[in-house]
């Protein structure tokens, strides 16, 4: 018998013996097993069966698929972030590599958002959107998990209360002042929208657990520790800054453009979005969400998202 094959068999025998298993049984299994196919490996049939429009409008499928694509990218981002949080403090090498990957994913999302902004018929959108309320991308749990793993919870408090709550430690108090509540309370009476009520019912406890588990270990905590000790490399600093821009300015701005294109100045405006004032809520310069405030100077923070907003929105 070929030396290489004999060597492998010996190694396999040792591997299985270590857990009390018989190599022969596994070889029999190999003889029986079918070849793996591409479609089974990536679960293609399941994947392609997940698009279930609620209307007969052609463009609703585009809307569903692009949301699904985005959620998969969010999952890839969390796939990088979660081990970093668990390993805190992660090494600079691991942080740099993973944050660069996340930036690539968000870069792909930023550049592909035209699929939404320009890629659907507006009249169709306004019609099929009515069959989807009160569902909204606002209810993306993964998007919030990315934020909760990246920023100190105090930095996710709504801008109006952020300075006052800079030293607050109570997770419940902070979550009760989180910025996104403003995006889902009714303009007329300050009541929570059904979108928010359902969102909290599904994810309230999950977010609380995430906030508690990542306390002191978020990307921001890790970046700050390196920054203050003078050890933050330029490469990692640039990667963190790019990540801040992608998640908190560039992606939100592309997203905002789609809201402007489809929803602005429409008589159905409020109805299609459940009664929230998204024009005042969505733009990055109003939210000023910044994961790593210590990596930006005062002027950069003051003008957060502004130059980009001017550039994109003036084109509308
Ligand atoms: C034509 C396309 C889209 C339009 C018109 C649109 C519109 C809106 C509006 C108006 C809001 C504010 C909350 C509300 O009133 O419901 C919102 C929030 C949100 N949407 Fe979209 N959206 C679009 C596509 C997407 C896509 C593809 C995603 C990807 C998952 C997404 C994710 C989100 C997220 C995460 C929020 C919360 C943002 C925040 O809290 O700052 N949206 N969207």
- 223 domain residue, yes or no: yes
- Report the residue among 182, 198, 255 best suited for mutation to probe ligand 1: largest number of ligand atoms under 8 A from its CB: 255
Domain extent, residue 28, equals 3-33
- 17 domain residue, yes or no: yes
Task: Take atom 6 of ligand 1 and give the residue whose Cα is closest.
Answer: 259
Residue 185 pairs in a beta bridge with: 192
Check whether residue 128 and residue 275 sit in a common domain.
yes
8 Å CB contact between 114 and 132? no
Number of domains observed in the structure of the chain:
2
CB count in 10 Å sphere of residue 18 = 8
Check whether residue 122 and residue 17 sit in a common domain.
no
Measured in angstroms, how far is the CA atom of residue 63 from the centroid of ligand 1? 11
Task: Take atom 12 of ligand 1 and give the residue whose Cα is closest.
Answer: 278
Token representation of residue 130: 């009515």
Reading the chain (316 residues) residue by residue, the pLDDT tens digits are 899 999 999 999 999 999 999 999 999 999 999 999 999 999 999 999 999 999 999 999 999 999 999 999 999 999 999 999 999 999 999 999 999 999 999 999 999 999 999 999 999 999 999 999 999 999 999 999 999 999 999 999 999 999 999 999 999 999 999 999 999 988 788 899 999 999 999 999 999 999 999 999 999 999 999 999 999 999 999 999 999 999 999 999 999 999 999 998 765 554 555 567 888 899 999 999 999 999 999 999 999 988 665 554 444 4
Check whether residue 180 and residue 275 sit in a common domain.
yes
- pLDDT given at position 52: 97
Token representation of residue 288: 């000023």
- Return the sign of the alpha-carbon dihedral for residues 185, 131, 313, 140: positive
Task: Take atom 29 of ligand 1 and give the residue whose Cα is closest.
Answer: 67
Distance CA 315, CA 106 (A): 23
To which H or E segment does residue 13 belong? Answer: helix 3-18
Check whether residue 99 and residue 199 sit in a common domain.
yes
Check whether residue 22 and residue 122 sit in a common domain.
no
Measured in angstroms, how far is the CA atom of residue 175 from the centroid of ligand 1? 21
- pLDDT given at position 277: 82
Check whether residue 158 and residue 197 sit in a common domain.
yes
Check whether residue 89 and residue 23 sit in a common domain.
no
Distance CA 164, CA 161 (A): 5
- 113 domain residue, yes or no: yes
pTM comes to 0.93
- pLDDT given at position 112: 98
Check whether residue 66 and residue 28 sit in a common domain.
no
What CATH code is carried by the domain that includes residue 233? 1.20.58
Distance CA 130, CA 266 (A): 13
8 Å CB contact between 298 and 274? no
Check whether residue 135 and residue 9 sit in a common domain.
no
- 44 domain residue, yes or no: no
Measured in angstroms, how far is the CA atom of residue 65 from the centroid of ligand 1? 14
Pocket of ligand 1 (CB under 6 A): 66-67, 70, 116, 136-138, 140, 143, 180, 183, 195, 255, 258-259, 262-263, 273-274, 276, 278, 282
- 104 domain residue, yes or no: yes
Distance CA 252, CA 105 (A): 14
- 53 domain residue, yes or no: no
- pLDDT given at position 313: 46
- 300 domain residue, yes or no: yes
Q: Which three-class secondary structure state does DSSP give residue 148?
A: helix
Task: Take atom 41 of ligand 1 and give the residue whose Cα is closest.
Answer: 282
Measured in angstroms, how far is the CA atom of residue 228 from the centroid of ligand 1? 36
Going from the C-alpha of 218 to that of each of 85, 158, 226, 236, 250, the distances in angstroms are 6, 19, 13, 15, 21
Check whether residue 13 and residue 85 sit in a common domain.
no
Task: Take atom 27 of ligand 1 and give the residue whose Cα is closest.
Answer: 67
């Amino acid at each position: 018998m070929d030396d290489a094959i004999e060597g492998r068999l010996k190694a396999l025998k040792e591997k299985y013996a270590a857990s009390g298993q018989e190599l022969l049984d596994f070889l029999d299994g190999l003889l029986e097993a079918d070849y793996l196919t591409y479609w089974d490996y990536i679960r293609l049939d399941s994947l392609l069966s997940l698009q279930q429009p609620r209307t007969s409008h052609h463009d609703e499928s585009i809307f569903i698929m692009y949301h699904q694509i985005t959620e998969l990218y969010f999952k890839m981002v969390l796939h990088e972030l979660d081990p970093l949080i668990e390993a805190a403090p992660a090494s600079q090498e691991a942080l740099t590599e993973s944050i660069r990957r996340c930036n690539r994913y968000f870069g792909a999302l930023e550049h592909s958002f035209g699929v939404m902004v320009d890629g659907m018929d507006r009249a169709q959108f306004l019609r099929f959107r009515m069959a989807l309320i009160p569902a909204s991308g606002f209810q993306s749990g993964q998007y919030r998990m990315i934020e909760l793993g990246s920023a100190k919870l105090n930095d996710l408090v709504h801008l109006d209360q952020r300075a006052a709550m800079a030293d607050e430690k109570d997770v419940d108090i902070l979550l009760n002042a989180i910025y996104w509540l403003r995006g889902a309370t009714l303009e007329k009476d300050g009541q929570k929208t059904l979108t928010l009520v359902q969102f909290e019912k599904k994810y309230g406890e999950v977010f609380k657990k995430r906030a508690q588990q990542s306390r002191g270990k978020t990307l921001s905590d890790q970046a700050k520790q390196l920054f203050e000790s003078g050890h933050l490399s330029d490469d990692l600093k640039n990667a963190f800054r790019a990540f801040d821009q992608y998640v908190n300015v560039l992606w939100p701005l592309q997203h905002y453009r789609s809201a402007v294109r489809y929803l602005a100045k429409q008589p159905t405006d409020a109805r299609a979005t459940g009664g929230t004032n998204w024009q005042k809520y969505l733009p990055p310069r109003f939210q000023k969400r910044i994961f790593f405030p210590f990596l930006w100077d005062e002027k950069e923070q003051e003008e957060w998202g502004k130059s980009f907003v001017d550039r994109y929105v003036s084109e509308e």
